[in-house]
Amino acid sequence: MLRLWWLLLLGLLAGCNAPPAAKLQLVGVGIEDNAYAVTFDADVDFLGYYEDEGRFWPAVNKKLVCRLDRQSDFDAADYATETASGSLEFVAERRVGQRKVFRYKAHLSFEKWESGSSMSIGDAAYVDAVLPPGAAIACKVRILVYFAPRYLSETMLLPANAVKRLARQVADEEAKSKNNAGDRR
């Protein structure tokens, strides 16, 4: 009986190995569905690994998380230190020579923490104000898994100026919409 338990334990632990930390390459940043759509390529199909039907360790949280502090510990889900985060979606797979490249998209929202524990989504003015000019935001794919170690990719740097430019564009469009709505009255 003890031998059976050991075999079962070894079988479960064999499924704990995570894919290697993916190298992420930024493709572009835009506005989509009221969020900052970040498109990037990866050399590892991390979503496919965890979404495989036979996988014993289901992923419960699959996100691109970003922090202003490049030295941050992305290991834990510390929401108060995350500048932005967004759910991941698989876009496409392609071959470049002999290797596969996987394209993903994340719809980032910038969280605004108020009074220590409540959070709201920061508007365009907040995003423009919170990001220092010329800075880069450190981002990683983080996948939290039941009963197994979390998955972290390598760091991808997202240029803050590109996001600030989009935030200003959104703010200008919102202001025009308000002005047009006021003119109709």
**Domain edges within the chain:** 19-177
Token digits of residue 40: 């990037």
In this prediction, residue 105 carries a pLDDT of: 97
For the whole model, what pTM was predicted? Answer: 0.80
Q: For position 49, what pLDDT does the model report?
A: 83
The Cα–Cα gap between 120 and 22 comes to 30
Residue 147, CB half-sphere, CA atoms under 13 Å: how many?
Answer: 9
pLDDT mean for each 10 residues of the chain (185 residues): 50 62 95 90 89 69 84 60 84 92 94 60 78 86 84 92 86 77 61
Between strands 99-114 and 151-152, the pairing is: unpaired
> Whole-angstrom Cα distance, residue 85 to residue 12?
31
Cα–Cα dist 86/63, whole Å: 5
For residue 7, the model assigns a pLDDT of 43
Q: Which of 171, 155, 167, 105 is nearest to 130 (CA)?
A: 167
pLDDT at position 109: 87
pLDDT at 27: 97
Q: For residue 9, what pLDDT is reported?
A: 45
